[in-house]
Each structure stands twice: as C-alpha cells, then as structure tokens.
Amino acid sequence: MGAVAWGTHLAEHPGVDKGQVHEYIHPETALSTHSDNITSLDQDVVELCSITEENGALQAAVEDLVSRSKCQNLRVIGLPEDIEGNNPRQFMADLFKEVAAEALWNSTPELDRAHRRLRSKPRQGSRPVIVRFHRYIDKERVLLWAKEHRNMTYRGHNIKFYEDFSAAVAKRRAAFNQVKSLLFKKGIRFGMIYPARLRVTFNGMTHIFDCPEQAELFYDERICD
C-alpha cells in the first residue's frame, strides 16, 4: 500500500490527528511550513536584538542627561535635620562662605537651590542636603578645597562635601568600595575618575581599572602579601 493510500486509510480511524496524517502524506508541505516558521523566528530575533540595542542607547542617553543635570550639584553630609530653617538656599550660601571662604575668595556663592534629599525624614541621622551652584566653577572650587580639608565642622557638626551622582553612577562607583578599602589599609594612593573608573598609583606607576574585578585581581597579584 502506498503512502497516500495508507495515509487515507489511517485518517479514517477515529482519534487519529488528520494534520499529522497530512504531513505524513505530503512531507514537502510540512518541511516548507517548518522552514517558514524558522524564518519568522529568525526575523523576530533580529527585531528583538534591534530593540535591545535601541533601549540600551536610549538608557545611555537618559543617564547622560541626568548626569549633566547634576554637574553643578554638591551633596552635603552631616547637617542635622531642620538646621537650615525656612531658607535653605541662603543658609547653605552662608555656610559655604564661612566654611570654605578660602576656596570662594571670601565671597558668598550664588546658589540656584538647596534642599534635603527627597525621602522621608529618618528617625536617626539626617538626610543629605543637595545644593545646586549657579556657576560650575564655584562648585569645583569648593569640591577641590574640601578634598584637601577632610576635617570640616560647622556649628560643632562634622560635615563632608561630595559630588551628587546619579543613582546608576553611584552604584557603579560603589562596586569599587571593597577594593578601595583594601588599598586604603595598605596606604596605596587611589582615586575615582568620572564616571566610574578607579585610578591606583603603585610603585610610581598609575593603573586605571574599568571594573572592580580588574582592580581586585591587580591587588591580589601585585599588592597583597
């Protein structure tokens, strides 16, 4: 009995999948269908890859815009809640003039705004104060001065000035914290390069690392006893 006759006979039985019988009788049709399905899947994969690349580029563009919007900001740590009163912008301008007078040539910096980090007031500790300078150069002068004067106080409170990074950049920089702690304990000079690269000076040579794994491997192989 030929394939067609056998398939026709088989299809007459109850419970038999007639679609499978058709594929048995006409295999070239089934192969063509499967080929079309594979081609369609390939096209879907290409489109998905394209969308993923576009999303990655869009995310990078958004991150760049966020970072640029923060380039004139400073984050001030250590000020008790409500010490700034009802006019935080003027309070912070006076604070910078008093604490960092040398960096600002004894002038009062012009600030666009100042506010606490937008989250609920903590039961303990205090939220950072975010300050936006009107002039980028004033922010840079204060920040560079602060790096040379680690023990700053204001009205008896220890305070610190930091860059105001975006959440994504802050997370990438925080990934280096463990190896930075090891370097600090060994007395090795290091610093961060924007947005998130570690610079290490060891035995008179400078090494730059793009990821913490590279830095940790360098520490294990070259520095660790």
Task: Considering the chain, tell me which residue range(s) the CATH 3.30.70.1820 domain(s) occupy.
Answer: 71-164
**Architecture, CATH, for domain 71-164:** 2-Layer Sandwich (3.30)
Yes or no: domain 169-223 corresponds to CATH 3.30.250.20: yes
Domain with CATH 3.30.250.20 in the chain: 169-223
Q: In what side-by-side order are the strands of the sheet with 197-202? A: 189-193, 197-202, 205-209
If phi > 0 it is left, if psi is from -120 to 50 it is alpha, else beta; for residue 87 that is: beta
Note if the pTM is more than 0.85.
no
Burial class (CB in 10 A: 0-12, 13-18, 19+), 87: exposed
For the segment 107-153, what is each residue's pLDDT rounded down to a tens digit?
899 999 999 988 888 888 999 999 999 999 999 999 999 988 888 99
| Res 21: pLDDT | 47
Question: Is the confidence at residue 12, as pLDDT, over 70?
Answer: no
The predicted pLDDT at position 11 comes to 47
Contacts of 180 (CB under 8 A, 6+ apart): 190, 198
The DSSP bridge pattern shows strands 111-116 and 152-154 to be: unpaired
Give the residue, 84 or 105, on which the prediction is more confident: 84
Whether the per-residue pLDDT at 27 is higher than 70: the answer is: no
